[in-house]
Amino acid sequence: MPELPEVETIVNNLRPRVVGKTIIGIVVRDTRPLQQTGVEEFCRRLIGRSIKGLSRRGKYIIFSLSHGNNLVVHLRMTGALLWNPAGPEPFSRLELILDDRSKLVYTDVRRFGTFNLVRDAGKVVGKLGIEPLSDEFTRAALAAYLATRSTPVKTALLNQERIAGIGNMYADEALFAAGIHPLRPSNSLKPKEIAALHRSIRAVLKKAVKNQGASIRNYRRPDGEAGRAHEEFAVAHRGGCSCPRCSTPISRIVVGQRGTYFCPRCQPAPGKPSKTSGGRHGQG
């Protein structure tokens, strides 16, 4: 699933290509992505509208349109937005045709993505929590949140209503960088560990944005190319490989129904003594 770095990359790549353009045509090949809007209404409210802005909120892409509409897109597990692909896309579900004759093509193998056409984007994204790369995401804010939770810290990081945009693989990477086991109760973390986790979350996400996201499975940038962030993953999706820090094989467990990767030596299980201090692994 595209997470914060992937969605940020998509927005950054598309913004100079689509902002200021007008939608002059729409091809709908699959009505499933359209949320609470029929095809006729969807086309009527989009055709002739110009794209005034493009932004990200959590894992959502928001097209701000003229006449007060917002098109809020969530790519879910296998969705992609491709700008002017060279040839036919086998899983193309929807196309927006712009006034310079360029095309924005939505493809989705599993058809879980959603398109919400709303006046107020807050109706879709209003419940999302703090952005982890914003100034509001402070060490104190993270500490206050974790202090209220006894659930595993991995689960807490994935709660989109409290922290928006962190997904499975970047939670694994941040916890490894901070030296924290994913099953540690959130409210058991000490101040030094919270400081390390705060630093590692921001550092891991910023690095992944710089590398234009991770192409583990279906993610493609709008130009159709893959991202590079996965090439530098320490633990995520690396089960059985050697830990880059201590050479211990990376383990995989399930936390909150999510495959979770960690180093059993660098991230000691709850109740076991740490091999190193919690702050030693922090990035930043």
Residues whose CB falls within 8 Å of the CB of residue 152, separated by 6 or more in sequence, listed in order = 182, 183, 184, 185, 186, 255, 256
List 2, 5, 132, 152, catalytic entry: 2
89 is catalytic: no
Using one digit for the tens of pLDDT, what is the confidence trace for 166-218?
A: 999 999 999 999 999 999 999 999 999 999 999 999 999 999 999 999 998 88
For 152, counting Cβ atoms within 10 Å of its Cβ (0-12 exposed, 13-18 middle, 19+ buried), the class is buried
3 counts as catalytic: yes
- Identify whether 270 is a catalytic site residue: no
pLDDT of residue 278: 41
Higher pLDDT, 86 or 95: 95
Q: How far apart are CA 98 and CA 194, in angstroms?
A: 47
Decide if 115 contacts 255 (C-beta within 8 A): no
**Residue 56 annotated in active site:** no
Q: Domain ranges in the chain?
A: 4-125, 139-262
What pLDDT score does 273 carry? 62
Which of the following is catalytic: 245, 258, 265, 275? Answer: 258
Query: In this predicted model, what pLDDT tens digit does every residue of 50-90 receive, in sequence order?
Result: 999 999 999 999 999 999 999 999 999 999 999 999 888 99
* CATH number for region 139-262: 1.10.8.50
- Superfamily name with CATH number, domain 4-125: MutM-like, N-terminal (3.20.190.10)
Specify the pairing of strand 92-98 against strand 103-108.
Answer: antiparallel
Catalytic residue among 56, 59, 93, 162: 59
For every residue of 31-71, DSSP letters joined together read STTEES--HHHHHHHHTT-BEEEEEEETTEEEEEEGGG-EE
pLDDT at 271: 78
